[in-house]
Copies of this chain bind each other. A is one copy, B any other.
Amino acid sequence: MEIIASPAAMQRWSENARRRGETIAFVPTMGFLHEGHLTLMREGRKRATRLASSLFVNPTQFGPNEDFSRYPRNFEGDCELMRTVPVDVLFAPEPDVMFPAGSQTWVEATEVTTGLCGDRRPGHFRGVTTVVAKLFNIVKPHLALFGEKDFQQLRAIQRMVADLNFDLEIVPVATVREADGLAMSSRNAYLTPEERQRALALSRALRAAGECMKRGARIPAQLAGAAQAVLERTPGVEIEYVEAVDAETLRPIDQLDRAVVVAIAARVGKTRLIDNAVLTPASESEKLSLSKESAG
């Protein structure tokens, strides 16, 4: 695996690959890799002839009181995991190369970053779309893969790519979970064993919302309510939000006439966790058969 620190050298690598007719898949990361990242990388490996990744803990997406300085890091371990995929090239720049003094240009997707995490983490998504725009211009991929775990991030990046005409495809990949349902996240490393157990309430809450949908829920508030009830029953889980919104625009909707995403943010101890599930309304016939079952 080639490791490149300079944006200009990375651009040369990609231009050369493109001129040879290669296709480049790209998985940007903040490191401390888990099976979720590796799933993205294996999927990218399948879809292109060259696989690029990046490792950069982006300071501009952390708020002043967030965990930038203590975000978990393990460069050597990450490189070893990438070599198992294998990743062909890793772009790993220094912070002051990505954001040198005088940097002042921001990329912002506006509506899709309103609500959910956007309201609780001011500036977060602006930092995400800015660094991803930079990485796209540096790595020049044909496709880039993002996990559905960070659902609002995925939607913000999809909007940015469409709105700014980036000539690449965004490939969403389903959230990878531990056997017991916990969504994989680098931040899970912060959890004590006891907190780790409590954190299962998030995926349990999403399953409850899914069952509520199957029983024929008519409005999004029913789904959010079902999820919230589960979270509230779990001591030591502090809800930040539980919402069911349009799965495309992330705007509130009144009726379950299209796909919704049920999104949760909650604190378990000092650790902020997020999870989500996309739910599609049951067709009328499905609802009928379900109501027969419960009647029978």
Contacts and interface: CB of A to CB of B under 8 A. Distances in A.
Interface of A: 7, 11, 15, 18-19, 21, 102-112, 129-130, 133-134, 137-138, 140, 159-160, 163-167, 249
Most chain B beta-carbon contacts within 10 A, residue among A7, A102, A109, A112: A102
A165 B129 contact: no
Contacts of A129: 105
Nearest to A8: B167
A164 B134 contact: yes
8 contacts: A19-B19, A19-B21, A102-B159, A103-B163, A104-B109, A105-B129, A107-B107, A140-B167
Given A104-B109, A109-B105, A110-B106, A133 B164 contact: yes
Given A107-B107, A134-B165, 4 more contacts: A11-B165, A107-B164, A130-B164, A134-B163
Contacts of A160: 105
Nearest to A110: B104
A249 B137 CA distance: 24
A166 B166 CA distance: 12
A276 to B, nearest CB: 21
A13 to B, nearest CB: 12
Contacts of A140: 167
Contact of A110 (B11, B105, B159): B105
Nearest to A156: B105
B18 A165 contact: no
A163 B105 contact: yes
Given A18-B19, A134-B165, A164-B137, A111 B104 contact: yes
A154 to B, nearest CB: 14
Contacts of A103: 163
Nearest to A10: B165
A138 B163 contact: no
A112 B133 CA distance: 20
A164 B105 contact: yes
A227 to B, nearest CB: 28
Most chain B beta-carbon contacts within 10 A, residue among A11, A106, A134: A106
A19 B22 CA distance: 11
A130 B129 CA distance: 14
